Amino acid sequence: MTYRVCFVCTGNICRSPMAESVFRAQVAEAGLGELVEVDSAGTDGWHEGDGADERTVAVLEAGGYESHHAARRFQAAWFSRLDLVIALDTGHLKALRRLATSAEDAGKVRLLRSYDPAAGDALDVPDPYYGHMDGFEECLEMVEAASPGLLAAVREQVGGRAA
């Protein structure tokens, strides 16, 4: 049975496609590619159908990650097929929990940086869209720092399903 993870930011062109690419690479490296499906979406539909922001693509490529992406808006109906919904900031967390139609679905929503023990109380990944390239680089660093903890949590869930 496939374990499904979806990363969510605002427009699905910066943070969430970056997290999707990084986490997909980590899942593949861990040998879990056949067991874990990784996706992304936005809380809003402003950029539906667009590729990732060129700065996101540049930072991902510089980091050795692949990026094939078309933006789309998160739909409440997706909760039924998803196991984990990863919000990139507290605004997304609240928006996603409002979309949830049950306590079970709301419980599937987590903040990405909650998987990074070094994050402390700074759990938001700042939106780099209106800034410069350094904001995108910082975003990648935050995503990479949280991904091992997220991978460990997903590995535990996948292991539990296989048992």
Burial of residue 10 (CB within 10 Å: 0-12, 13-18, 19+) is buried
Distance separating alpha carbons of residues 56 and 162, to the nearest angstrom: 35
Distance separating alpha carbons of residues 52 and 155, to the nearest angstrom: 28
Q: Is 15 a catalytic site residue?
A: yes
Distance separating alpha carbons of residues 23 and 83, to the nearest angstrom: 15
| 8 and 43 Cβ atoms separated by less than 8 Å | yes
Which among 6, 9, 14, 139 is annotated as catalytic?
9
Which among 14, 15, 110, 113 is annotated as catalytic?
15
Q: Is 9 a catalytic site residue?
A: yes
Distance separating alpha carbons of residues 3 and 158, to the nearest angstrom: 7
Q: Is 24 a catalytic site residue?
A: no
158: phi then psi, degrees, rounded to nearest 5: -65, -40
Which among 4, 50, 97, 127 is annotated as catalytic?
127
Handedness of CA 71, 135, 66, 156 (dihedral sign): negative
What residues are annotated to the active site? 9, 15, 127
